[in-house]
Structure 1
């Protein structure tokens, strides 16, 4: 699905121009002409990227950045601004903007920055894996069950990553040994049971439902 971009710009002709250019590039586009509508649209439609004018009626672009960031919204934000002082740029970035384009700007530059931020977001998303309320980040090696952070050892993480990479697929003990411990593993094959037990203890520490199921005589599967 094509990326959805929200344009918040009070100059109607400029907003229409940006909208047309973005649609020509294949993006889905929503437009808001004031700050309050911009915030509401951002929260309701959860776009993939926001192009946000600094000077807006009602609520400024800077204030929109702050409000979205303080409520945990991590959508990339590109500020459009007529302000080109270093202090203004710093203020924009400090408020939570990811980038800024100074007016007047070339549409080619704006489109290039849009592509760069969407590409970066896609790369970050490829590191995130989720099953039910369990989330695993391959890049940061962080694991969460709902909002609870779970500390795992390197091998526990590798085992869970293998399971979450093959949801609802029964994995044999041999497959798990080969993938997680390697071809040359010469230790006790009961190591799998030991680590599955460790994982279950940590994943179910607050009484959460079991996700790692035993398939007797075969192996294990991640399913509800």
Structure 2
């Protein structure tokens, strides 16, 4: 699976290596060294995936991430960061990123992540999954509650679709990370918790006395499940 990628990275050596490696594998790559220029590209050209360095010389990468997410809601955003503190990662994910890699980035891991994200983001086109008043449409990559569409980021949709595939089943953190992100995932899994929290907020806003929205329940020491009340059967 190849895609149209935007790389925003100010380091010449890293930029040249990544651009060359991605193009050799069939990807179309636009490389920009400044946040402003990257945003300008995103304002006129749709991209499948953005690799975004957070340490840019002109604009903070977190702000670039926010603007990218607004400009291209369906695009996968992968942060490249030397900021290893958990809070920095959480801030980046909250700003709209779907994934992150710590520098120095192993090329093999980055290429595997890109393949995994593009493969999952193309949409399986198999079925519609109703869970109460929640409907997950895999072919159109849309989730609705009582007919109203939830505005989900790509990985939020993938995560909800995975939970909806086995409603009322407790899915382990490892299973969710493997199926939604990458079977070769390295490092902390805080990204899962951030995406779960975002899904809970969005689904919670859609809930009402007349609308049956399943809840994402924490299974302590294990993972998460999509809980259905008896009337939702």
In the alignment, structure 1 residue 123 sits paired with structure 2 residue 157? no
TM-score by length of 2: 0.54
Secondary structure of 2:122's match? helix
Alignment check: 8 A CA contact 2:2 2:115 kept? no
Question: Retained in 1: the 8 A contact 2:42–2:72?
Answer: no
1:119-156 CA-partner distances (Å, limit 9, x unpaired): 111126x379xxxxxxx97345659xxxx969xxxxxx
Q: Which has the higher contact order (CA 8 A, sep 6+)?
A: 2
Aligned-pair CA distance for 1:110: 0.4
RMSD (Å) for aligned C-alpha atoms: 2.7
CA distance in 2, matches of 1:45, 1:127: 29
1:12 aligns with 2:23: no
Q: Aligned partners of 2:88, 2:143: CA distance in 1, in Å?
A: 36
Report what 1:82 is aligned to: 82
Query: Is the CA contact (8 Å cut-off) linking 2:8 and 2:35 kept in structure 1?
Result: yes
- Correspondence for 1:113: 113
Residues 1:137 and 1:36: Cα distance change in structure 2 (over 3 Å): same
Q: Distance in 2 between matches of 1:14 and 1:72?
A: 25
Contact 2:46–2:72 under 8 Å retained in 1: no
Long gaps (5+) in structure 2:
128-134, 150-233
Q: Distance between the aligned counterparts of 2:76 and 2:19, measured in 1?
A: 17
Hey, what does 2:137 align to over in structure 1? 138
| Equivalent-residue separation in structure 2 for 1:90 and 1:38 (angstroms) | 22
1:46 aligns to 2:46 (yes or no): yes
1:39-65 C-alpha deviation (Å, 9 max, x unpaired): 011121211100000011222221111
Partner SS, residue 46 of structure 1? coil
Equivalent residue runs for 1:151-162 within 5 Å? none
3-state SS of paired residue (1:123): coil
8 Å CA contact 1:49, 1:118 repeated in 2: yes
Superposed displacement of residue 105, structure 1: 1.4
Runs of 4+ aligned residues of structure 1 deviating over 6 Å after TM superposition are: none
- Cα pair 1:8 1:51 within 8 Å, conserved: yes
Counterpart position of 2:66? 66
